[in-house]
Amino acid sequence: MNPLDRAAQYDAENPWSADDDFFLALANRKPNSRILDLGCGTGRLTIALAAAGHHVTGVDPDSAAIAWAQTKAGADKVTWLVGDSRAVPEARFDLALMTAHVAQAIWQDGAWKRTLHDLAAALVPDGRLAFDSRDPAARIWETWHGSRRTLALPDGTTAENWYEVISAENGLITFVDHTLLPDGADDAERATLTFRTLNTLREDVAAAGFAVDTVYGGWNGEPVGAGCGEFVVLTHRVRTGIS
């Protein structure tokens, strides 16, 4: 599949949802904030943040996703960068976000810890970092295998989408995202996600110079274990230079 078509397909799979409402409301607690959206993908939330009056930078390693995001209305109000956390300017932002479980896609331990340190460097003193990560105790991956849904594609056609879980061990879930296209082709993409415990997340953010303010279990402020199987982690930067 053409990379731009895949980016458009991602939008079909991932419409605006309760998590976007949560993070937009969080950002709006401080008007006119300088916001970093790391792992911004096709810019669904990124553009909404800019439309709300914030000064937004969207960063993603997928150049096709960035290119697709730039075709959308309001994209001209966003600064777009292709890359990972190493592409982020230092000491500029009031709020950094990693949404749509981007934190879980950074599954290599070294890359994850580097990302957190880079984000600490990118934030002003007391700047906030917020992200989501699924609670491994909910074992959501057990519901993925073979569960099918129909997607409405941008060209008006439909496709069938399902996940095939390949392995689940040591907190790493590897799966194939299948999409059966109208021409009969199976567009299959393999991915790995990590499911970190809350203790691990707390330790990792503290080592990077953040203090945890709140962890919710869902998008309505539920306690951990009583929501929708999420860790919604809200932190602020307390120091830098932590090894």
CA 11/CA 121 separation, integer angstroms: 31
Helix ranges, the chain (H): 3-13, 18-27, 44-51, 63-69, 102-105, 109-122, 198-207
What is the model's pLDDT at position 3? 66
Judged on CB neighbours under 10 Å (0-12, 13-18, 19+), 214 is: exposed
> What strand order describes the sheet that includes 34-38?
78-82, 55-60, 34-38, 93-98, 123-134, 230-237, 210-216
What is the model's pLDDT at position 219? 98
Task: Determine whether domain 3-134+197-237 maps to CATH 3.40.640.10.
Answer: no
The residues spanned by each domain of the chain are: 3-134+197-237, 137-194
What is the model's pLDDT at position 240? 55
Q: pLDDT tens digit string along 29-49?
A: 999 999 999 999 999 999 999
CA 74/CA 2 separation, integer angstroms: 24
Q: pLDDT tens digit string along 35-93?
A: 999 999 999 999 999 999 999 999 999 999 999 999 999 999 999 999 999 999 988 99
CA 128 to chain centre: 16
Which tokens go with 7?
A: 């980016």
**Chain position carrying tokens 């932190």:** 235
What is the model's pLDDT at position 1? 59
pLDDT (tens place) for every residue of the chain, 243 residues total: 566 677 777 887 888 999 999 999 999 999 999 999 999 999 999 999 999 999 999 999 999 999 999 999 999 999 999 999 999 998 899 999 999 999 999 999 999 999 999 999 999 999 999 999 999 999 999 999 778 889 888 788 898 999 999 999 999 999 999 989 888 889 899 999 999 999 999 999 999 999 999 999 999 999 999 999 999 999 999 965 443
Angle between helices 109-122 and 198-207 (to 10 degrees): 50
CA 131/CA 234 separation, integer angstroms: 7
Task: Specify the pTM.
Answer: 0.93
